[in-house]
Each structure stands twice: as structure tokens, then as C-alpha cells.
Structure 1
Amino acid sequence: MIEIGMYVLLGTVMGTLGGLFGIGGGLVAIPALGVLFGLNQQMAQGTALLMVLPNVLLALLRYHQRNRISLRNALMLIIPGFCFAWLTSLWAVRLDAHSMRLGFVAFLMVLTLFNLIQMYWHKGQASSELRHVKWLWLLGVGSGMTGGLFGVGGGVVATPILTGVFGATQVAAQGLALALAAPSTAITLVTYAVHDHVNWQMGIPLAVGGLLSISWGVRLAHSLPEKLLRSLFCGFLVICAVVLAFKV
């Protein structure tokens, strides 16, 4: 019972961060499960996906209620994202766990660098109407591939690109990223579960904790100034990369 309570509490923290940054909590769950509980990379990713899926679905509902998501734009991301997440996850479950962890650290470092550049890169004014809409499918492909390979994609990859390249506001970008992440996360979780890369006893209490707190994280995201929210997101990526690098 003590272990279950600890997992629920940890899930609560992850759910809050997931709602705040529109990432479902997976980016913090994967390093935490690897560092704190000694899970190998595939098991950490699969267990995190079990926690992330209900969080993503609830966060998507909350974002849509506050800032309606364009169905057309969402589908341009979802369809290629789903297909490539499935194909990439079939490859990921067969990779060496240590190599996967090194790849995940490198992925976080690249993502952190991109976010740092974005913070100081002069961009056009953010708008609810996206620029370059015809290229959204390409973002869906890339996000789906990282989602299938590393268990995270929609929020951490799509959000900064939607703001920096497509001109979306931070909140609108996080909502679209959640729409992209939901079906991709589902098919990736199924693939990992079929290959026994999910710790169900740990993942279910984590999911319960996340569901209890993710709505609060979404409310907090809508109350913060946009510049501060982007700065927090960038700092969060740096912390995750450093923590996991020490484990490697």
C-alpha cells in the first residue's frame, strides 16, 4: 500500500507538469522511472505511456474546452502521426536498452537546444490562424516517429515547432500537440504492452495520480504569461536531460 501511495503521489506531480506543458507527463515520467526505480529504457517508456494516455485524453478535453482545437489542423497531424508512431514503435521494442537511453538523452539535448534558440529567435506575432498549414502533415510524421521511438512526441516536439514555425500561441500549440499525441500514444502503448515492456502495477497508480492533478496543470497554464510558460518549458527540458545523462 505504501508503494501504491508513492506511485499515486509521483503521478500527481507528473500530471501537474503534463497539464502545465501539454506533454501528458511522459517526459518527466521516463527519466524518473529510469533513475528512481531502475527500469530499463523500454520498460520506463512503456510504463510511462500507460500513465500518459489517460492524462493526454483528459488534458486534451480541458484544452479544447478553453481553446477550441481546429479539427482540420488536428487531423493533418493525427493521421501521419499515428501511422509513423506505430511503425517506429515496432522497431523501438527490439533495440538495445542502453542504446535507447543514449538516444533519448541525445533527443532531449537537441530539443533543449531548439527551445533555447526559439526563445531568442525573432518570430512573427503568434495567432490562432496558423502559417504554412499545408506542411502540418510533415510535423505529424516527425512527432509520430519520436513518439514511437522514445514514448514522447506530441507535446515536446510539436509544441515548440507549432509556436516557432507555424505561428501558433503557446496554449493553442499545446492543445494541437495533445490532439496529435492521443492516438499516437495509444498505438505505441499497445505495441510496448504486447512486447512486455509495461509495468502495470506501477503504471496504473501513476495514471490515477496524473488524472487527479492534470486539470489543475491546464488551469495553471492558461493563467501564466506566455513568455513565462515558454521559459518554464525550456528549463524543464534542461533538467530532464541533465538528470538522465547522469544515469547513463
Structure 2
Amino acid sequence: MFIDLTMYAVLGLALGALGGLFGIGGGLIAIPVLGLWFGLDQQIAQGTALVMSVPNVFLALYRYHQRNKIDLRQALPLVTMSFCFAWLGAMLAVGVDARLIRWGFIVFLLCITLYNLIKLYSSAAQPVAGSRYGWPWYGVLGAVAGTTGGLFGVGGAVVAAPVLTSLFGTTQVMAQGLSLALAAPSTAVTLLTYAVHGEVHWLMGVPMAIGGLLSISWGVKVAHALPERLLRGLYCAFLLLCAALLAIKA
């Protein structure tokens, strides 16, 4: 038992650092790892990953806000709409076949990766100091990201970050901070929904959460030190890795 708990904590250390680096709380890579290495069904893997993601997201959000102040006028509509729609997505996820959810997640990751790659290698406009769009559009983005976050257990940050950089004109670091603000309440309500339906392995999730809390600040620090283009490229490679791991399990 002690060896197992230690292994889960070490896994949380690694995933927490990645979560801080890419602004996603570590849950995205945790889901395929839990499914492939530990044989968990898709919904249980997503619920267990959320145990680690929830505290990690809140800590990463605090660290990002320390380095780059998050605009509450932008964050509030993101947070509000994401919270409401995450519950709807989570309710749908717990009632759908696990294999269908897994393949849906793979397609979702590939689409997000393709979108990021197109924006990475296209001659995009320079980031702006604030945003190209007003607060109502942040609410729309929050609704879409919250739904996918509840459905796939990744808090919507994977959707929000590339949209914020390409359409709203924010920098990558600013986008990841806003994505964490969006993800914080939505991951919490999603975890609650999964837990009520018995789709959480707490014995694995809690030590992973502890490990993640110890390392996520490292990832945030590295994210602020990397060049913008390199950080985006690494993010695309990370998404492809997650999709590949899920495909192996599927």
C-alpha cells in the first residue's frame, strides 16, 4: 500500500509540473496515463484526474496571477458561464459509454492540436495589450469551454487557451492564466458530479493531488521563462502525446 501511494504521489509530481507549464492543471495527461497504465475506464480516469486537477488548478491560477494580473472583467464572464455549462457536460459524460467518450476525447484533442498548429505557423496578428473583444464574447467562450471541460474532465482550458491567443489576441501566458481562471470553478463542479456518480478512485487521486501541489509552481516558473513560440510548439506536442496515449488504450 505504501509503495502504491508513493508511486501515485511521484506521478502527481510529474503531472503537476506539466500542468503548471501548460496552464491545464495536469489532468489532460493524467487521463490517458490512468487509462493506459492503470486500466481505468474513461469516466473513472477523468474523475480521478480531477481529484489532482482541482487543487492544482487553483494553485497554478494563484501563481499565474502573481506574475501577470488577471483582468477580472475578462475572467468573470469566463468563470460564470464555464461553471454553469461544466455541470451539463459532466452529467452527459457519466451517462455515455466509456469507449465513445474516449474516442470523442481523441478527436477533440486532435482538432485542438490542428487549430494550434495552424495558428503557430500562420502569420498571425501581434498580441494586444488587452483584448480584441468585449466581455459578452468571454461568456460565449466560457460556455463552450465549460461544456467540453465537463464532458472530458479537463476544465475547458484546452479550448480556451488557443482561442484566446488567436481570436482575442492575448499572449500565450495571459491566455493560460485566463484559462486557469475559467477552469477553477468548472473543474470543482465537474469533480463533484463525477464523485456523486461513483466515477472517482480517491486512493489514487489524493496522493496524486499532493504530488502535483508540490511541483506545479515549477511548471509555472518555466512557462514564464520560455519564448512564446517555443511554449506554443511544446503545447501542440503535448496534446499529440495525450491523443496518442488515449488511442493506444482505445
48-57 or 145-154: bigger deviation? 145-154
Q: Output the TM-score relative to the length of structure 1.
A: 0.98
> 2: distance between equivalents of 1:213 and 1:155?
19
> 2: distance between equivalents of 1:153 and 1:47?
13
Deviation sequence 1:33-57 (CA, Å, 0-9, x none): 0001000000000000010000000
156-165 or 128-137: bigger deviation? 128-137
DSSP-derived class of the 1:222 partner: helix
* AA aligned opposite 1:158: A
The Cα of 1:108 is off from its aligned counterpart by: 1.0
> 1: distance between equivalents of 2:123 and 2:81?
29
1:80-229 alignment, distance < 5 Å: 80-133=81-134, 134-229=136-231
Deviation sequence 1:94-122 (CA, Å, 0-9, x none): 11111111111111111111111111222
DSSP-derived class of the 1:126 partner: coil
Q: CA RMSD in A?
A: 0.8
Mapped contact 1:21–1:155 kept (Cα < 8 A): no
> 1: distance between equivalents of 2:200 and 2:209?
13
> How many residues of Structure 1 are paired with residues of Structure 2 in the alignment?
248
Structure 2: segments with no counterpart, 5+ residues: none
> 1: distance between equivalents of 2:212 and 2:129?
29
> 1: distance between equivalents of 2:157 and 2:217?
16
> 2: distance between equivalents of 1:208 and 1:154?
22
1:242 to 241, 244, 248: 244
* AA aligned opposite 1:196: G
> 2: distance between equivalents of 1:65 and 1:223?
15
Mapped contact 2:155–2:184 kept (Cα < 8 A): no
60-69 or 82-91: bigger deviation? 82-91
Match in the other structure for 2:77: 76
* AA aligned opposite 1:43: I
207-216 or 82-91: bigger deviation? 82-91
91-100 or 33-42: bigger deviation? 91-100
**Percent identity (aligned):** 61
DSSP-derived class of the 2:170 partner: coil
* AA aligned opposite 2:179: A
* AA aligned opposite 1:49: L
Match in the other structure for 2:55: 54
> 2: distance between equivalents of 1:170 and 1:37?
33
Q: Output the TM-score relative to the length of structure 2.
A: 0.97
The Cα of 1:231 is off from its aligned counterpart by: 0.5
> Moved runs in structure 1, 4+ residues, more than 3 A?
none
79-88 or 150-159: bigger deviation? 150-159
The Cα of 1:246 is off from its aligned counterpart by: 1.6
